[in-house]
Amino acid sequence: MEIYLDNSATTRLSEGALELMTKIFMEDYGNTSSLHKKGFDAEKHIRSAKDNFAKILKCSKNEIFFTSGGTESNNTAIIGTALHYGSRGHHMITTAVEHAAVSAPMKFLKSRGWDIDYLSVDETGRIDLSELEGLLRDDTVLVSIMHVNNEIGTVEPIEEAGKLIHEKCPNCLFHVDDIQGFGKISLNPKKLHIDLLSASSHKLHGPKGVGLLFIDERAHIAPIILGGGHQNGMRSGTENVPGVAGFSYAASEVYKDIDKNYERIEALRADFISKISDITDITVNGSAEHHSPYILSLTVKDVRAEVFLHALEDKEIYVSAGSACSSNHPSVSSTLKAINVPAYALDSTVRLSFSNNTSQEELDTVSDVLHSIIPMLRKFTRK
């Protein structure tokens, strides 16, 4: 039985989304910029998707912009803010545990003279709001904080951070990378003082190559892709109609039972942790209280993550060594370093990530496999 537990990297495409996309590829394939019926038929899918996401995020459809994925959404939010508000200030704040889609554009701006401050995190991966308050300045134009950590699943205090940012710096924008939270944990950007929010399609059973960026109507950022002026000039380029429609379809499916799904996965995760708790020297990373149940980070002492990953692969069980979605080349995890894990953990940690398709039977099988292979793998290490 194949068991796929790398859903934070990507998910299996929804069959309903595939069916809809196939229809659009073969029938409604027009260019949305065309003035004839084929263009109009394609544009209907974009308008429908905007209405759907506006309903999900409880915002105006004019505040929804489609991108090529989460990385472009994050880059647009950060670079676009810098381009628009650079004359007002050159200071941004982010955290030490962001995905590369946020940390890389921050480094890019720093190399061009911007002042970037990085919030530290505690041993569970949570930021300190008092540290955030102390870093906010009159020239701070953006604070970017992820919702759910992609490696250890820790959930950041987004609501409290948003309120603090807007109280102390009313003109500062608040960006949330919600790539690992969207479709799993309900979040209302208007209510939580969020100006910019990034989401990705393929993390919730939609197709790859599609994402969205919510931009509050009060926020103004400059586009970073120029051309034909698509999407009101914010993101030029012919719209990926099948991708956007598939993303919308998949989002509708997961949001229909989002709270019920969350509770089921939380129960599965807790049961799984209980069943492997008798294995010696195995540690769960992240927050016991503030976590997404969809991500489980495990450090298995004296077992290299890559060896562990391939041993599971031999059993048709697929997990990740940390965050695998940014590169094919393993590197030392900045998140694990930030939460000050023991040195051995940097090379002995794997990530199991669940989806709404994950079953009790699958996790019971994985538990049995862990009990059998971990002692065997340690025999090759402990000599």
Would you say 201 and 211 are in contact if contact means Cβ atoms under 8 Å apart? yes
Q: Is the pLDDT of residue 187 over 50?
A: yes
Interval 100-110: pLDDT, tens: 999 999 999 99
Q: Is the pLDDT of residue 204 over 70?
A: yes
Interval 360-371: pLDDT, tens: 999 999 999 999
Across the chain, mean pLDDT equals 95
The token pair at 346 is 């940097």
Active-site residue (options: 59, 169, 172, 325): 325
Per the model's pLDDT, the better-predicted residue between 24 and 381 turns out to be 24
Confidence of residue 114 (pLDDT cuts 50, 70, 90): very high
pLDDT at residue 382, as a whole number? 57
Interval 239-279: pLDDT, tens: 999 999 999 999 999 999 999 999 999 999 999 999 999 99
**Average pLDDT in the 77-90 region?**
96
Q: What is the pTM of this model?
A: 0.95
User: What CA–CA distances, in Å, run from 372 to 294, 311, 375?
Assistant: 24, 11, 6
Q: Is the pLDDT of residue 329 over 60?
A: no
Torsional sign, CA 171, 186, 333, 71? negative
| CA–CA separation, 112 and 380 (whole Å) | 48
User: What CA–CA distances, in Å, run from 369 to 112, 275, 374?
Assistant: 50, 12, 8
Using alpha carbons, select from 218, 256, 197, 252 the residue that is nearest to residue 67.
197
Q: Is the pLDDT of residue 63 over 60?
A: yes
* Per-residue exposure over 101-128, b if at least 16 CB sit within 10 Å of its own CB, e if not: bbbebbeebeeeebebbbbebeebbbbe
Residue 325 known to be catalytic: yes
Q: Is the pLDDT of residue 325 over 50?
A: no
Q: Is the pLDDT of residue 135 over 90?
A: yes
**Average pLDDT in the 337-346 region?**
92
Q: Is the pLDDT of residue 339 over 50?
A: yes
